Amino acid sequence: MSKVQIYDKAMCCSTGVCGPQVDPVLPTFAADLDWLKQQGHDVARFNLAQDPTKFANNATVQKMLTDEGVECLPLVIVDDRVVSRSEYPSRENLAMWTGTALKPNASLPMADDSGCCSGDTGCC
């Protein structure tokens, strides 16, 4: 399984989904990260305001911040390779970078043309 690290700009909390003005992308991204964890990936998210040592201890993150400033955040690193910067990626991109299959949306079962009580269903 992949190791996924997200380095966020300074936010009021670890996910940014608090306070009076929540960026609508943040709840979706938080849900996508939870989904990645459920698929078995190692996901870690760091907030510049709360985890500055995590930024300082990562040479790649330090270089990006030195070269581009905080505008490069959020940084998404998968298996020690920067795969995204300056924006939150979609679930589709996260799946592609980690080799995770997206399951198609489940659909409700449909009755065939003969109706639900045809055959040996036992419903009638």
Count up the domains in the chain and report the number.
Answer: 1
Give residue 92's domain range.
3-98
Q: Cα(76)–Cα(89) distance, rounded to whole angstroms?
A: 8
Average pLDDT, the chain: 84
115 in a structural domain: no
At 27, the pLDDT band (50, 70, 90 cuts) reads confident
Mean pLDDT across the stretch 67-96? 96
104 in a structural domain: no
pLDDT of res. 102: 86
33 in a structural domain: yes
DSSP state of 114: T
121 in a structural domain: no
pTM attached to this predicted model: 0.77
Q: Cα(65)–Cα(109) distance, rounded to whole angstroms?
A: 51
